[in-house]
């Protein structure tokens, strides 16, 4: 007979187990903890935890344990239950309740079933149990089957314990009334913990789906940057895991919990959410003259107008007495110069290379040298002020004001994220996401933070954002860089205070770039 001290000890175990269950975030480990806890407080040799299927038609084997057989499936065992244990149907083919199977009966009725010996019990079908015993040499004797009810009194699973062991002799005995009450109490706590975890999990899935919806909107708005919102989080987490594994140097003390990982991943997914406010013609600006359309065609037309006017001047000069060869030479020389200048402007318009001072001077000469009559019939400079500003952009395709428009997306990101009521475990999302354009030397934006004012996570996102941009193959104005070139530029960024030097060392020494390249880069980009 159980002593009072023993009962109190098991009650203490039950209290400790309840606290442990409420802290477990991993659903599979939570299920495992529930079964192991039930086995411990009832001294059961084996047990199974079933979960009710989404359609409420079956019980699915989630966790299976039998100590004396060293049998472990599901949970941390890495041995899946699928294929080993078929689901238990709650209803027969004629839709009648499947009350012959004890676990199904407990799920359908909500009643606990305590059986002293399955081999002599009546009313239930234990043929499957006997077949298992024949194969393994086991003797499944006492059963305690407890339905798991959530806070709304709905059945969400079944806890089944097998073969209670006497604490002194180790012999198989019947589950006592105290065992049953303890198991029912644990099943109730476990069901609530499981429901809470499932609810949190569903909310997390909903929240991540909402984030992906924002990124999808950015993707649909601009096919050139949508995949960026997917690749940067992947690279950020690769670098974070490498930093977490570091055991020497400045990052030796850096460690990530599962909550830290989730928080960083959410921040990385949201790091460019402010781009929904950026005008698409700026985001997608593939050439210097592009607005809603590429204005290079307007300049092509002007050159054709100039050549037409030159042809008119040729015939007028001939009519006024100039020789044909001389007039033709003037006309042909002018046309050749027009074609050369037009080809030059077309090349410059792509914005793929750094412009030299002589190139800028030539653009300015073209703008002032040629004159044409505009749609109003008035003589005007060949290039308008806005066209001249765009064509003399020294690098890339964006003017200063357009870069400010692009850069404003991070301000919009911060405003959007600051407006959300983040729970405690996500309180750093805004800081991480909002810092990926800051520089270690304080010259970044929007806040001009210096290295010491930023978290490791924000600095990680800065490296991920830069490296993804360098190697991206879907930008409208450039091809994806080869790995060696991107690493060379990243090293220069490390040396000039753009990115964190310690994280750069981890990025290179842990070969994070190779891991990323294998997942996202074209074969021809991987040259080192």
Which residue from 80, 45, 46, 78 is spatially nearest to 61, judged by alpha carbons? 80
Q: What is the pLDDT of residue 223?
A: 61
Q: What is the pLDDT of residue 402?
A: 84
- The mean of the pLDDT values for the chain is 89
Which residue from 428, 433, 446, 520 is spatially nearest to 483, judged by alpha carbons? 520
pLDDT > 70? residue 61: yes
Q: What is the pLDDT of residue 404?
A: 83
pLDDT > 70? residue 4: no
Q: What is the pLDDT of residue 151?
A: 80
pLDDT > 80? residue 5: no
**For the stretch 89-111, what's the b/e string if a residue is b when 16 or more beta carbons lie within 10 angstroms of its beta carbon?**
ebeeeeeeebbebbbbbbbbeee
Mean pLDDT, residues 347-367: 89
More confident residue, 400 or 449: 449
Which residue from 506, 465, 503 is spatially nearest to 486, judged by alpha carbons? 465
- Containing 113, the helix (H) or strand (E) segment is strand 113-115
Of the candidate ranges 298-312, 403-417, 448-462, the one whose mean pLDDT is the lowest: 403-417
Contacts of 319 (CB under 8 A, 6+ apart): none
CA 398 to centroid of chain Cα atoms:
29
The tokens for 446 are 């929007």
**Could you tell me what percent of the chain has a pLDDT over 90?**
62
Give the model confidence (pLDDT) of 167-211 as tens digits: 889 999 999 998 999 899 888 888 887 888 888 888 888 998 988
CATH number belonging to the domain at 222-277+405-525, selected among 1.10.3210.10, 2.60.40.10, 3.40.30.10, 1.10.15.40: 1.10.3210.10
Of the candidate ranges 145-159, 182-196, 273-287, 488-502, the one whose mean pLDDT is the lowest: 273-287
Q: Where in the chain are all domains bearing CATH 3.30.450.40? A: 4-200
Give the model confidence (pLDDT) of 32-53 as tens digits: 888 888 898 899 999 999 999 9
Q: Where in the chain are all domains bearing CATH 1.10.3210.10? A: 222-277+405-525
CATH number belonging to the domain at 4-200, selected among 3.90.1150.10, 3.30.450.40, 3.30.2010.10, 3.10.290.10: 3.30.450.40
Measure the CA–CA gap between 292 and 290, rounded to whole angstroms.
Answer: 6
Which residue from 187, 181, 185, 190 is spatially nearest to 2, judged by alpha carbons? 181
* Predicted structure pTM score: 0.69
Q: pLDDT band at residue 8, thresholds of 50, 70 and 90? A: low
Strands 58-66 and 155-165, sheet pairing = unpaired
> What residues pair up with 88 in beta bridges, in sequence order?
59
453 in helix, strand or coil? helix
The tokens for 507 are 């990025």
Distance between terminal CA atoms of the chain? 73
Measure the CA–CA gap between 370 and 310, rounded to whole angstroms.
Answer: 12
The tokens for 469 are 């941009």
Q: What is the pLDDT of residue 135?
A: 92
pLDDT > 80? residue 22: no
CA 169 to centroid of chain Cα atoms:
54
Measure the CA–CA gap between 28 and 414, rounded to whole angstroms.
Answer: 35
Residue with token string 């000069």: 317
Q: What is the pLDDT of residue 31?
A: 83
Q: What is the pLDDT of residue 278?
A: 80
Residues composing the chain: 528
**For the stretch 166-179, what's the b/e string if a residue is b when 16 or more beta carbons lie within 10 angstroms of its beta carbon?**
eeeeeebbebbeeb
CB atoms near residue 20 (< 10 Å): 14
């Amino acid at each position: 007979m159980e002593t009072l001290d023993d009962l109190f000890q098991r009650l203490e175990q039950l209290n400790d187990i309840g606290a442990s269950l409420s802290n477990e975030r991993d659903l599979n480990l939570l299920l495992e903890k529930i079964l192991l806890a039930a086995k411990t407080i009832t001294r059961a040799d084996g047990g199974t935890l079933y979960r009710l299927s989404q359609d409420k038609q079956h019980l699915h084997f989630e966790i299976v344990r039998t100590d004396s057989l060293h049998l472990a499936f599901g949970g941390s065992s890495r041995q899946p239950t699928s294929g080993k244990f078929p689901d238990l149907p709650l209803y027969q083919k004629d839709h009648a309740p499947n009350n012959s199977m004890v676990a199904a009966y407990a799920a359908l009725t909500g009643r606990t079933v305590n059986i002293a010996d399955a081999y002599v019990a009546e009313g239930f079908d234990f043929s499957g149990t006997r077949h298992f015993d024949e194969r393994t040499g086991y003797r499944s004797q006492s059963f305690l089957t407890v339905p798991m009810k959530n806070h709304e009194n709905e059945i969400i699973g079944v806890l089944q314990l097998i073969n209670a062991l006497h604490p002194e002799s180790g012999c198989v005995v019947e589950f006592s009334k105290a065992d049953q009450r303890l198991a029912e109490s644990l099943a109730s706590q476990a069901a609530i913990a499981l429901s809470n975890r499932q609810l949190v999990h569903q909310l997390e899935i909903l929240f991540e789906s909402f984030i992906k919806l924002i990124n999808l909107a950015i993707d649909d708005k601009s096919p050139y940057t949508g995949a960026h919102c997917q690749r940067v989080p992947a690279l950020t987490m690769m670098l974070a895991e490498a930093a977490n594994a570091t055991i020497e140097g400045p990052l030796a003390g850096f460690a990530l919990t599962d909550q830290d990982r989730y928080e960083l991943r959410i921040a990385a997914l949201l790091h460019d959410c402010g781009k929904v406010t950026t005008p698409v013609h700026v985001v997608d600006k593939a050439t210097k003259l592009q607005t809603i359309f590429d204005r290079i065609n307007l300049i092509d037309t002007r050159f054709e107008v100039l050549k037409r006017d030159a042809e008119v001047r040729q015939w007028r000069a001939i009519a006024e007495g100039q020789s044909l060869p001389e007039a033709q030479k003037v006309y042909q020389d002018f046309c050749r110069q027009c074609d050369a200048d037009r080809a030059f402007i077309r090349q410059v318009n792509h914005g793929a290379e750094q412009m030299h001072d002589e190139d800028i001077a030539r653009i300015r000469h073209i703008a002032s040298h040629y004159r044409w009559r505009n749609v109003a019939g008035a003589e005007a400079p060949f290039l308008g002020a806005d066209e001249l500003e765009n064509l003399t952009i020294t690098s890339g395709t964006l003017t200063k004001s357009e870069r400010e428009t692009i850069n404003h997306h991070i301000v919009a990101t911060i405003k959007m994220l600051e407006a959300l009521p983040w729970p405690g475990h996500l309180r750093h999302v805004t800081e991480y996401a909002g810092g990926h354009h800051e520089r270690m030397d304080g010259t970044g934006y929007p806040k001009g933070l210096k290295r010491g004012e930023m978290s490791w996570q924000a600095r990680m996102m800065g490296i991920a954002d830069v490296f993804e941009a360098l190697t991206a193959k879907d930008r409208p104005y450039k091809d994806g860089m080869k790995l060696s070139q991107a690493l060379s530029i990243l090293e220069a960024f490390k040396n000039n205070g753009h990115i964190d030097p310690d994280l750069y060392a981890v990025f290179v020494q842990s070969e994070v770039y190779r891991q990323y390249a294998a997942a996202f880069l074209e074969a021809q980009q991987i040259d080192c």
